[in-house]
Amino acid sequence: MTTTHSTTPRVALVTGGSGGIGKAVVERLAKDGFALGVHYAGNKAKADAVVEEITASGGQAIAIGGDVADEHAMEAAFDAVETAFGGIDVVVNAAGIMVLAPIAALDLDDLDRMHRTNIRGTFVVSQQAARRVRPGGAIINVSTSVTRTQLPTYGAYVASKAAVQGITLILARELRGKDITVNTVAPGPIATPLFLEGKDEATIANFAKATPLERLGEPEDVAESVAFLAGPARWVNGQVLYTNGGLA
């Protein structure tokens, strides 16, 4: 008896894939042989550069734009990936925005912007993923460890990311029988522009010291967790994986 192995690559769509954690995830999944849909919200040049990097190394990737909170744009994004590569196996929701301020002082327009991208965007993309991801696939959302550490000024951001975790836990159970896992990665302090913006050196140093490993995380640290959930972790489902260097 002979066994044949498919040479067709698995396919992943990564929202926010042109920078920060999303870019690291794209690069890590490319190393695992995935064909990639690299999503961007506004900076096509950055997404094109990531695609060029992957294809130059012998991989497969396309850039796709659109507002994650717009269901029509995301339907078109999923269509584009399926047309290019024949289907979708993994969806990573890495797109997100963060505005920090005390609850008493936060501009409500900023609250609405975070909720649109972080909650509605995750919901819209998850909805498409639930309809389209192939059996054996995975849906991976990105939250934050501040849902546990409860730092001041993070109230609105944590509210949006706690919703992401809630969506994850429900969707994992709604997809019973589909052979699709749904999990959330909750990073600690990661050295990305999103995290570093507006923080002085003393604040950044305090964040680094807060973990037992006494450093900030790197986007690649989070990408390793995503690759685990996207690949071998078939018995991990409906969970929040705190990727934070031991932060409480």
Catalogue the active-site residues: 157
CA distances (Å), origin 110, targets 28, 117, 119: 32, 11, 13
Return mean pLDDT, the chain: 94
Pick the CATH number of 11-243 from 3.30.1380.20, 3.40.50.720, 2.40.50.100, 3.30.160.250: 3.40.50.720
- At residue 192, the pLDDT reads 84
Domain spans of the chain, in order of start: 11-243
Which amino acid is present at 171? Answer: L
pLDDT at residue 134, rounded to an integer: 98
Which of 111-120 are b and which e, b meaning 16 or more Cβ less than 10 Å from the residue's Cβ? bebbbbbbbb
Query: Is pLDDT at 3 greater than 80 in this prediction?
Result: no
pLDDT tens column, 115-167: 999 999 999 999 999 999 999 999 999 999 999 999 999 999 999 999 999 99
CB 139 within 8 A of CB 180: yes
How would you classify residue 232: left for phi > 0, otherwise alpha for psi between -120 and 50, otherwise beta? alpha
pLDDT in tens, 26-78: 999 999 999 999 999 989 999 999 999 999 999 999 999 999 999 999 999 99
Mean pLDDT over 169-192 rounds to: 96
The pLDDT score that the predictor gives to residue 247 is 87
